Amino acid sequence: MSHKEDIELLKGILVKFKAFLFSKDAFSFLLFLLLSTAFWFSNVANKVREANITVPIRYESLPADYAIANRPVQEIRLTVRDEGLNLFSYSKKRLVPLTVDLSEINATDGQVKLSSEQILSRLSYYLHPTTSVIGFSPDSIFVKCIKMDTLNLPVKLNLNMELAQQYILSDGVKVQPAEVTVYGNRDVLNRLEVVETEQINLNQLKDSVELSVALQPIDSVNLSVDEVRVNIGVEMFTEKRARIPVTFANVPSGISIRSFPAVVNVTYNIGLSHYNTEYDEVNVVLDYKDVLENKQEKQRLRVVSHSSKIFNIRIQPEEVEFILEEHS
């Protein structure tokens, strides 16, 4: 048979199949097939049978000062009986883990136990009312916990910060909590000095920020918290000027000092929110001890600031003349 004859034969078959597909016989055949499939699926779905399902276990609420000493089971395997449609719903993806609350640790022996009756009672929430449990394994859950030593350690903030030009820290950097409790073996705890945060990088900072920062995990140690709150107050600063009188220090009785000038000009930088700070936050001091040591006609003044909000303090003049007067 030639290639041309093969093609003609194939065309003839396709024409006959198309004619059959759109005939009443084809429609009857497909309808019968659909009804048969539906009847088969209904028969299978309603037939009672057995199946094995697996329920995962999740352990939660373990107190921070305890550690699990054994390897508790991670799942429960059940053999159940029910109609096929109900069994089909027990897919592993849909099963919520059975939770075991470890906060109920026995203070005497550090154990948490679930008997077969307790497990079966909890499993009933996962099953349809029509489902019968034939058996399950393991038939009990046992968790052994041990109490750990504790130690309070300061939090070390790993901060790389760059302020934008003309901005300063208004209230510093605050970490809450400033220290955390760590739990672990005493030998391990004795080697620790701080608990460090994850690295924070802030560039060209112009606004105050508040953020949560994770603590770096430490091997074989539990932490009372997983993260800390960090508050960084940032604001613009400006320049402020004031005229401040010269004060005197360490002057013995019977002697008085007069300076020329008696008042100096003070310039300093300060955050906008603290601009109305009174000038007595800055003192300009002439120390009598310095006068005795230097024995010069002019004495350099000392600047004392009582506020962390003030910086870059300058005075004019920096030196003053003075007169010592003795009193009888």
pLDDT at 40: 47
> What H or E segment, with its residue span, contains residue 43?
helix 24-46
Distances (CA, A) of 284 to 36, 187, 239, 325: 104, 53, 18, 20
pLDDT at 120: 87
SS3 label, residue 202: strand
pLDDT along the chain (328 residues), means of 10: 57 56 54 52 60 88 87 91 75 76 84 90 82 88 91 96 90 92 91 95 92 93 93 91 90 89 91 74 87 85 82 91 82
Give the residue among 152, 153, 159 at the shortest CA–CA distance from 198: 159
pLDDT at 95: 74
> What pairing do the DSSP bridges indicate for beta strands 255-260 and 141-147?
unpaired
Contact 323, 291 (CB under 8 A): no
The terminus-to-terminus CA distance of the chain in angstroms comes to 147
Contact 194, 155 (CB under 8 A): yes
Give the residue among 185, 249, 179 at the shortest CA–CA distance from 219: 185
Whose tokens are 């920020």? That residue is 209
pLDDT at 38: 47
For the record, the structure tokens of 76 come out as: 């429960």
Q: What is the pTM of this model?
A: 0.58
Contact 285, 322 (CB under 8 A): no
For the record, the structure tokens of 96 come out as: 């919520």
Neighbouring C-alpha atoms within 13 Å toward the C-beta of 103:
4
**133 has which bridge partners?**
80
Distance CA 182, CA 197 (A): 14
For the record, the structure tokens of 175 come out as: 């970490």
